[in-house]
Amino acid sequence: MTDCIFCKIVAKEIPSYPVYEDELVYAFLDITQVTKGHTLVVPKQHVQDIFDYDEDLAAAVFARIPKIARALEKAFPEMEGLNILNNNKETAYQSVFHSHIHLIPRYSKEDDFSIHFGNHQEDYTSNEMAAIAQAIQEQVSQ
């Protein structure tokens, strides 16, 4: 894709700070550095989001995540944890429409990064939960 910033980074048309590269995957520092070491892992092939992956591409990209995560942990022994985040589509906060996975090292609970999961357990009956699960199961099996 000619106007995709991540395609341009992968093609070395735009400079980046690479941390890992092979024939299918390119990983580089996010320029925002939410925390020190914040890394983006992108497939070299342009895919917009997780919905565009085939099984082979997903296997290739996600297989590299533990290796890069361990490298972050070794590079920054003061790291206390790691968030792995993948936003898909604008409503889910995707801002660059070339699929990418954020690896965000965590150094403390006060390091300017947070995720909030609301608890809506009481909003669904057992029957409603079963119906939701069934709807998804039917689609997975197709």
For residues 65 and 60, give the distance between their C-alpha atoms in angstroms, rounded to a whole number.
9
Output the six-digit token pair for 86: 């993948």
Distance (Å, rounded) from C-alpha 29 to C-alpha 41?
A: 9
41, 86, 87, 97: which is closest to 66 by C-alpha? 41
Report the residue count for the chain: 142
Widest distance between CA atoms in the chain? 54
Distance, in Å, from the CA atom of 34 to the CA atom of 130, rounded to the nearest integer, reads: 38
Annotated active-site residue 100? The verdict is yes
The residue from 98, 100, 116, 120 that is catalytic is 100
Residues known to be catalytic: 100
